Chain A
Amino acid sequence: MPQTTTKAFAGEAASFPSSPPASFDKSNPYEDPVAFVQQREHDTRERMIDVEKAKLIRERLRECYRNEGVNHFENCKDLVEKYTEAFEGKSFARINIMRDSK
């Protein structure tokens, strides 16, 4: 059954720019404050998308484990690799950057 969405909801959602701002300079992020904010939001969004992608793969992996039973070592191997790739180095981690250590 096709999922229906109201026009109002469809209008509110998904109005984000899909690419980072061109004017952002990583070596001097304070030069253009607007680009700074846009870049930060873009990065946050991308990270959140990565997290959600990993969750989707995890769901599929869980189904695969249940369906395959003892054969999951062989038959779910691709999904396991995909899942590992999906979250490796893509978490939000923690604020830990100190200027001296750069």
Chain B
Amino acid sequence: MQSLLSIILLFPALGGLVLLCVPNSQTRLIRILGLTISFITFVLSLLLWVFFDHSTAKFQFVNAVDWLPFLNMHFYIGIDGISLFFILLTTFLVPFCLLVGWDSVQKNVKEYFIAFLFLESFMLAVFCMLDLLLFYVFFESVLLPMFLIIGVWGSRERKIRAAYQFFLYTLIGSLFMLLAILLIYFQTGTTDLQVLFVSEFSLQRQLLLWFAFFASFAVKVPMIPVHIWLPEAHVEAPTSGSVILAGVLLKLGTYGFVRYSIPLFPEASVYFTPLIYTLSIIGVIYASLTTLRQIDLKKIIAYSSVAHMGFVTLGLFSLNIQGIEGALFLMLSHGFVASALFLCIGVLYDRTHTRLVKYYGGLVHVMPLFSVFFLIFTMGNLSLPGTSSFVGEFLILVGVFQTNPFVATFAATGMILGGAYSIWLYNRVVFGNLKPFFIDTFMDVNRREFFIFLPFVFCVLWMGFYPEVFLEPMHTSVANLVQHGQWRG
């Protein structure tokens, strides 16, 4: 069981290598093989959940392989209650990404499946890496397949610009993190995360290092004002690219905050909390207001993602158990809700090849089943009680209120604005008179799409009605994180 994590990590990449050997013409075989590999990875990751010990905050399923032993750097992996669900979220989403491109991706099918399988391995590696330098390596390597997914399988000519923007924004931000990692390495002589947790950094150095890490993670989250790449990338990416972008890639930034910035530099985290609060509040309100003005369906969801991630950073930097658990929960919830909404838009785009809101209206007359799914996910997006986002946002507000009631009040207005843009979007697309532009092409969800949506509905409602299943494994790790911060001071 100890090597289970390594197997999960390597399985998609090895599957990608196997796909390389299959001839390009065998598209059906490639699709079935790719889907089977990603599905097996998901089933294996469920075993992690089953065998995960909730009672300890220690890293579990730990494996270490020498990478650069003379530099004291090792390929060191393991998970705790914080990273467990991100592994599950990643392995859950990838099979659906492959399924959603089943019919719509007709060119370079083999490369599409290989790109996704490698991307899955890289994302999993980021979430379970316990070595700082290798974390950086995989954090960056995620860009490569994603750059190809946007640039090759994107929908319009502007996709190249979007792919470049996505790549360069993240790369420039990450440069500071690399320099910070070098500084840490030369001070402590190691990049082993568990050793770094118990290494002392002076306050001045913590501030410097924290800001360097922040430059990288803030771009990835994304926080205002470095969020411009996200709507561009979402709009130009194929549906599956948007799903993985919203579902997992945005979480790499916030995961970085909770895994590295807070425990390694707790004093700097406290010092910079007002900065994070300010940026997050601006993010929540400004992004929500921007969402109201958008006419592209994908941009609406993209900007609402910026607003939700603002909530997440608020929760993380409340620096108490409720806030951090709420942030983790909202990250997970956003992974389901935003991904499902992008899938909904993908369903519409497959039929009409436009994402402009003005071409849609009265879909409930021709697509009743789709309208039900879209309603459930829209309600999830506006954090209706009973859906997953409500639990996350409520816990975040509880956490933030203890620290700063003013900030909590401003954040709560984001929930109202969220309700405004979500319901307005649903109203414009689903109700009203049926628009005549694409009247022949509208048809309700097919069997494949139905079975793609169903697990998302199940997860959104499950997390909304019985969140304890997801929160319980986090308790010890988050409690340990808060305790660690207090000790490090």
* Count of inter-chain pairs, beta carbons less than 8 A: 78
Restricting to A14-71, which residues have a CB under 8 Å from any CB of B? 29-30, 33, 36-37, 39-41, 43-44, 47-48
Closest chain-B Cβ to A26's Cβ sits at a distance in Å of: 9
Inter-subunit contact B198/A95 (CB<8 Å): no
With A48-B476, A48-B479, A94-B319 given, is the CB distance from A99 to B199 under 8 Å?
A: no
Inter-subunit contact B489/A102 (CB<8 Å): yes
Inter-subunit contact B403/A94 (CB<8 Å): yes
Closest chain-B Cβ to A98's Cβ sits at a distance in Å of: 6
The answer to the question of B372 belonging to the interface, with a C-beta cut-off of 8 Å to chain A, is no
Complex Cα gap A40–B270 (Å):
19
Residues in B whose Cβ lies below 8 Å from that of A96: 270, 319, 486
Sort chain B's interface into a size bin: 35 or more
Q: Which of B55, B198, B269, B319 contacts A37 (CB 8 A)?
A: B198
CB-nearest residue of chain B relative to A12? B53
Inter-subunit contact A40/B487 (CB<8 Å): yes
The answer to the question of A100 belonging to the interface, with a C-beta cut-off of 8 Å to chain B, is yes
Residues in A whose Cβ lies below 8 Å from that of B267: 97-99
Inter-subunit contact A29/B487 (CB<8 Å): yes
Q: Which of B200, B318, B402, B479 contacts A47 (CB 8 A)?
A: B479
Restricting to B473-489, which residues have a CB under 8 Å from any CB of A? 475-476, 479-480, 482-487, 489
Inter-subunit contact B262/A95 (CB<8 Å): yes
Residues in A whose Cβ lies below 8 Å from that of B262: 95
Restricting to A84-100, which residues have a CB under 8 Å from any CB of B? 92-100
Inter-subunit contact B487/A94 (CB<8 Å): no
Inter-subunit contact A95/B203 (CB<8 Å): no
With A12-B53, A30-B200, A102-B489 given, is the CB distance from A95 to B482 under 8 Å?
A: yes
Determine chain A's interface SS by DSSP, over half rule.
Answer: helix
Closest chain-B Cβ to A28's Cβ sits at a distance in Å of: 9
Closest chain-B Cβ to A81's Cβ sits at a distance in Å of: 25
The answer to the question of A13 belonging to the interface, with a C-beta cut-off of 8 Å to chain B, is yes
Inter-subunit contact B479/A98 (CB<8 Å): no
Determine chain B's interface SS by DSSP, over half rule.
Answer: helix
The answer to the question of B338 belonging to the interface, with a C-beta cut-off of 8 Å to chain A, is no
Inter-subunit contact B486/A41 (CB<8 Å): no
Inter-subunit contact B483/A43 (CB<8 Å): yes
Complex Cα gap A33–B489 (Å):
15
Inter-subunit contact A33/B195 (CB<8 Å): yes
Inter-subunit contact B480/A95 (CB<8 Å): no
Restricting to B244-267, which residues have a CB under 8 Å from any CB of A? 262, 266-267
The answer to the question of B321 belonging to the interface, with a C-beta cut-off of 8 Å to chain A, is yes
Closest chain-A Cβ to B205's Cβ sits at a distance in Å of: 12
CB-nearest residue of chain A relative to B55? A13
Complex Cα gap A30–B270 (Å):
20
Closest chain-A Cβ to B409's Cβ sits at a distance in Å of: 19
Residues in A whose Cβ lies below 8 Å from that of B57: 41, 44
Residues in B whose Cβ lies below 8 Å from that of A13: 55
Residues in B whose Cβ lies below 8 Å from that of A40: 480, 483-484, 487
Complex Cα gap A47–B262 (Å):
20
Residues in B whose Cβ lies below 8 Å from that of A93: 320, 482, 486
Contact with A along B390-425 (1 / 0, CB 8 A): 000000000000110000000000000000000000
Residues in A whose Cβ lies below 8 Å from that of B321: 92
Restricting to B433-489, which residues have a CB under 8 Å from any CB of A? 475-476, 479-480, 482-487, 489
Q: Which of B53, B55, B198, B489 contacts A98 (CB 8 A)?
A: B489
CB-nearest residue of chain B relative to A26? B487
The answer to the question of B271 belonging to the interface, with a C-beta cut-off of 8 Å to chain A, is yes
CB-nearest residue of chain B relative to A99? B203
Closest chain-A Cβ to B323's Cβ sits at a distance in Å of: 8
Q: Which of B53, B320, B476, B489 contacts A44 (CB 8 A)?
A: B476
Inter-subunit contact A41/B266 (CB<8 Å): no
With A44-B479, A95-B319, A99-B203 given, is the CB distance from A36 to B198 under 8 Å?
A: yes
Inter-subunit contact A39/B487 (CB<8 Å): yes
With A40-B484, A43-B487, A44-B483 given, is the CB distance from A30 to B199 under 8 Å?
A: yes
Contact with A along B322-363 (1 / 0, CB 8 A): 000000000000000000000000000000000000000000
Beyond A36-B487, A43-B483, 12 additional pairs, beta carbon < 8 A: A12-B53, A30-B198, A33-B195, A33-B199, A36-B198, A40-B487, A44-B57, A47-B483, A48-B479, A94-B402, A95-B270, A97-B485
Question: Can you name 5 A-B residue pairings with CB atoms under 8 Å?
Answer: A41-B480, A93-B320, A94-B319, A94-B320, A95-B270
- The 6 A-B residue pairs whose C-beta atoms are closest, nearest first, are A97-B489, A95-B485, A33-B198, A94-B320, A95-B319, A30-B200
